[in-house]
Chain A
Amino acid sequence: MSPSSGETYSSPLAERYASRAMLELWSPRTRYGQWRRLWLALAEGEKSLGIPISNDAIDQMRQHLDDIDLGAVAAYERRLRHDVMAHIRAFADVAPAAGPFIHLGATSAYVTDNADLILMRRGLQLLRAKIIRVLRALGAFAREWRDEPTLGSTHLQPAQPTTVGKRATLWMQDLVIDLGEIDYRIDALPCRGVKGTTGTQASFLALFEGDHEKVRQLDRHVAQAIGFKTSIPVSGQTYTRKLDAQVLSTVAGIAASTAKFASDLRILQSVGEIEEPFEEEQVGSSAMAYKRNPMRCERINSLARFVSSLEPNANQTHSVQFLERTLDDSANRRLVIPESFLATDAILVLMENVVCGLEVHPARILRRLSDELPFMATEELIVHAVRAGGDRQHAHERIRQASIAASRALKDGAARNDMLERLAADPEFGMSIDDMQRTLDPHRFVGRAPQQVDEFLNEIVEPLIGRGGGDDHSDEVRV
């Protein structure tokens, strides 16, 4: 996309962050193209139920689904002050035979609401595609590092070791859960269908001269024509805004998963274990030339917090829809819904980019692990000491003293953890330094982590993301 002229405000989501596919989805052209398709579906349904709409009318509508003259629409809108009416007039200009029938029996919410549901559903599908790309990249990472021991962390304090790959499966699992949520949400999302001004379908009942069954058939026809399994059972003028809240909750859930990943990576980068990609000429800080900041992960957190903040907004909008509707949802939804999708799309582009370029520093990982491993091994040392004829309480006390001393020494600047040397120097402890060193192979401390990685990837992830794939390039991150 060409850089904007810089004369007026432009959304950074559009200018910098979101992918072309998602921007295209929320474009006016896509939306109005859906409106025309909805008018076509309505006319076809009405025709099939006996309303005398000519084949010409249907053909003309079908031939002009996408060639929307936005200039002509704008001219009508200036005169009529009504966007849906302006579009009806512009559509009638290019499909004159359909002119007398376009929008017959419908209210504006017929096109606006149904189109919103179509766009949200496709938006979820686009996010789904992006999550699968991220899972592919993370899956390759997890497999590569499946048995690389690394210091675990609870309370942000050193804890029993895990592996680099196992930790990646934690990030993946969150996204796998999000995928399930997306699939459920897509499947459960109804369209608004054909409901009329206050949801009673009165205008359609009049159109079909009191034939209730025909009204129901029309509702079903439209749902099917626009690819929905169901039309919402009852509505006011609009579908309940609870649906928006549910969709945005799904989207915010994805953002939260990515934020957890980004936060973790920022921690790992702060201790130098794993770093996000850094371009050769990238500048970390304008002042501190040595700096290499985790700016992509910081941006993920930044955008994810924005998405999280929009989720309660949708619930609030739902809660103030007085009676059959109010219009105070409109301006708000126009921002909240697309921006939730665009920002989450941008986050997933970033995340794929980060995952594809992760730099793991095994030496650094081992170094931090080695400082802590002697402490991790203490339980085992007690067992060994007793087997060698020692006293359990005595061994425990010796270890307590040695570990506190070694820990203090480390904090005061010792180059390495010397707890084992301290114990070996104690003849009453009864173990040689070599015996103790043997207990310190980090691979002995990671439990089933490597196997868990294999099982998770093979049993959970592979069936989800399929093997087909094919594309590999990622959307370029503009840094």
Chain B
Amino acid sequence: MTVSASSTQLPLKHLRRGKVREVYEVDEGRLLLVASDRVSAFDVVMRERIPFKGAVLTQLTAWWLHQLEGVVRHHMISADAEEIVALVPGLQAHRETMAGRAMLCRRTQVFPVECVVRGYLSGSAWKEYRATGTLAGEQLPPGLQESSRFEQPIFSPATKAEVGHDENITFARMSDTIGAGAAAELRRLSLLVYTQGRDIAAGRGIIIADTKFEFGADREGQITLIDEVLTPDSSRFWPADRYAPGGSQPSFDKQPLRDYLDAERRAGRWNGEAPPPPLPDEVVSATSARYLDAYRRITGHTLKTEST
């Protein structure tokens, strides 16, 4: 039996609650990130929890960070609850709450920029392109379709909005905000990590259409990859076998949920705003299965929670 993390109560200072994650302070130098099983769609957080979703997000991030060892400095110390307890004995009684979904991290000074990399023309980028033929203010070749693959992935930074949607900004504006040197390095690392991740996932049936990275500066001032990395929540995952440019693509992970909500909307049973309609069990378990499948495909391993 695995506890479904709707909210987590840990004996640590609670710093932030994100849509799906809690951030705790362990001490001056370390944070504990706990991903919950909450899910949102169309900007509305559902009432139901998606079993194992938090564990998938955390363990997938951990897996990617291990692949990137030696490529980019990162903030993870451990994503193993037993190890975390060994390093932070105060959490001893909370092993089960943390199991799978907690990550002990080094704390950094966060750069106030979302480092978005796009390999495909989708979402807000498609909207901008359709209106002005540009992306992040830069001209793109004419005649691209929705969901077209770019020859080269494009770095398109955004501001971190406290409320509402992040706003796409130009690289020049990013450089003004954080300095030209840091901006260039964040762009280089974002493109490098995305490209490596895209290639690995592509061989395993998942298109990572775009993704969002966050970076911080560690105590020594070194640029460090933080937050979640190449997960379904920080990226658009598309099933490769159904890829067809010229329209929007199905989501690898959230499609069952979106299909259900769309149907509810069309039937006039939901107005598209909170509170969301209740989700049937089949939708919850289908969504859970998608997340687990994404984990299994990318890492080649089964998430251990499944069999327990």
Q: Does A405 contact B (CB under 8 A)?
A: no
- Enumerate chain B residues within 8 angstroms of A157, measured Cβ to Cβ: none
Asked if B79 contacts A65 (CB within 8 A), the reply is no
Known interface pairs A66-B29, A132-B82; A471-B67 also in contact (CB < 8 Å): no
- Asked whether, in the complex, the Cβ of A476 is within 8 Å of the Cβ of B80, the reply is no
Which A residue sits closest to B296, measured CB to CB? A472
Give the residues in chain A near B96, CB-CB below 8 Å: 468
Q: A471 touches which one: B104, B302, B304 (CB < 8 A)? A: B304
B104 cross-chain contacts in A, Cβ below 8 A: 21
Report the minimum CB–CB distance from A142 to chain B (whole Å): 15
Min C-beta distance of B286 to chain A, whole Å: 21
A473 on the interface (CB 8 Å rule)? yes
Known: A65-B27, A473-B63, A473-B301. A468 touches B99 (CB 8 A): yes
B80 surroundings in chain A (CB, below 8 A): 21, 129, 133, 471
Q: Beyond A24-B87, A122-B86, is A469–B308 a contact (Cβ under 8 Å)?
A: yes
> For the complex, is A152 an interface residue (Cβ under 8 Å from B)?
no
Task: Judge whether A476 and B308 touch: CB under 8 Å.
Answer: no
Contact of A24 with B82 in the complex, beta carbons under 8 Å: no
- Residues on B with C-beta less than 8 A from A474 are 66
Residues of chain A with a CB closer than 8 A to B101's CB: 470
**How many interface residues does B have (CB within 8 Å)?**
41
B73 close to A1 (CB less than 8 A) = yes
Q: Is A29 on the interface with B (CB-CB < 8 A)? A: yes
One of A125, A469, A472 near B86 (C-beta < 8 A): A125
Interface residues of B in 18-55 (CB under 8 A from A): 27-29, 55
Considering only residues 10-38 of chain A, those with a C-beta below 8 Å from chain B are 19-21, 24-25, 29, 33
Report chain A residues within 8 Å CB of B63: 473
**B304 contacts A469, CB within 8 Å?**
yes
The verdict on A469 contacting B99 (CB below 8 Å), with A227-B89, A356-B301 known, is yes
The residues of A that contact B58 with a CB separation of less than 8 Å are: 471
Hey, what's the 0/1 contact readout for A103-127 against B, CB within 8 Å counting as 1? 0000000000000000000100110
Segment 51-74 of B: residues with Cβ below 8 Å from A:
55, 58-60, 62-63, 66-67, 69-70, 73
Q: When A469-B305, A470-B99 are in contact, do A67 and B28 touch as well, CB less than 8 Å?
A: yes
Whether B28 contacts A65 by the Cβ 8 Å rule is: yes
A115 to B42, CA, bound (A): 51
Interface size on A, residues (CB 8 A): 35
CA–CA, A475 to B299, complex, Å?
Answer: 12
A1 adjacent to B69 (CB under 8 Å)? yes
Asked if A136 lies at the interface with its beta carbon under 8 angstroms from chain B, I say yes
Interface pair A2/B73, CB less than 8 Å apart:
yes
The answer to whether B62 and A473 have CB atoms under 8 Å apart is: yes
Question: Pick the contact of A472 from B2, B28, B83, B303 — CB < 8 Å?
Answer: B303
On chain B, the residues within 8 Å of A467 by CB distance are: 308
Q: Whole-angstrom distance between the alpha carbons of A336 and B98 in the complex? A: 33
| CB contact list, A54-74 vs B, under 8 A | 65-67
B81 near A: Cβ within 8 Å?
Answer: yes
Report the bound CA distance from A20 to B68 in whole Å: 13
Instruction: Produce 1/0 per residue, A402-446, CB < 8 A to B.
Output: 000000000000000000000000000000000000000000000
Choose from A24, A67, A132, A473 the contact partner of B299 (Cβ within 8 Å): A473
Q: Are B304 and A472 in contact (CB under 8 A)?
A: yes
A128 at the interface (CB under 8 A from B): yes
Mark out the residues of chain A between 447 and 474 whose CB falls within 8 Å of any chain B CB in the assembled complex: 467-474
Question: Is A21's CB under 8 angstroms from B77's CB?
Answer: yes
Q: Determine if A78 is an interface residue (Cβ-Cβ < 8 Å).
A: no
Given A25-B87, A468-B95, decide whether A473 and B79 contact each other with a Cβ distance below 8 A. yes
Distance (whole angstroms) from the CB of B262 to the closest CB of chain A: 33
Least Cβ–Cβ distance between B12 and chain A, in angstroms: 14
Chain B residue with Cβ nearest A467: B308
Asked if A3 CB lies within 8 Å of chain B CBs, one says yes
What is the chain A residue whose CB lies nearest that of B82? A129
The reply to whether the CB of A155 lies closer than 8 angstroms to some CB of chain B is: no
A291 interface residue (CB < 8 Å to B): no
Whether B55 contacts A471 by the Cβ 8 Å rule is: yes
A478 contacts across to B, CB distance below 8 A: 69-70
A125 to B96, CA, bound (A): 17
A129 touching B86, Cβ below 8 Å: yes
Nearest chain B CB to A189 CB, angstrom units: 14
Tell me the minimal C-beta distance from A336 to chain B in angstroms. Answer: 21
Verify if B284 is at the interface (C-beta below 8 Å from A).
no
Query: Which chain A residue has the least Cβ–Cβ distance from B90?
Result: A227
B169 within 8 A of A: no
- Inter-chain CA distance A197–B27, complex, in Å, is 32
User: Is A2 within 8 A of B222, CB to CB?
Assistant: yes
Q: What residue in chain B is nearest A21 (Cβ atoms)?
A: B78
Q: Are A24 and B69 in contact (CB under 8 A)?
A: no
B247 to chain A, nearest CB (A): 35
For residue B60, which residues in chain A have a CB less than 8 angstroms away from its CB?
473
Q: In the bound complex, what is the Cα–Cα distance between A122 and B99 (angstroms)?
A: 19
| B276 contacts partner chain A, Cβ-Cβ < 8 Å | no
Considering the complex, give the chain B residue whose CB is closest to the CB of A67: B28
Q: Does B76 contact A (CB under 8 A)?
A: yes
Give bound CA distance, A246 to B2, whole Å: 37
What's the minimum C-beta distance from A301 to chain B, rounded to whole angstroms? 23
B100: A residues at CB distance < 8 A: 469-471
* Residues in chain B near residue A133, CB distance under 8 A: 80
Contacting pair B87 A122 (CB below 8 A): yes
Q: Please, how many angstroms separate the alpha-carbon atoms of A3 and B83 in the complex?
A: 24
Give 10 nearest A-B pairs by CB, closest first. A470-B100, A129-B82, A125-B86, A476-B66, A470-B99, A66-B28, A21-B78, A473-B63, A472-B304, A467-B308
Q: Which residues of A contact B (CB under 8 A)?
A: 1-3, 19-21, 24-25, 29, 33, 65-67, 122, 125-126, 128-130, 132-133, 136, 227, 356, 467-476, 478
Q: A1-B70, A20-B76, A129-B86 are in contact. List 8 more A-B contacts (CB 8 A).
A: A2-B70, A21-B86, A66-B28, A126-B86, A130-B83, A133-B80, A472-B302, A474-B66
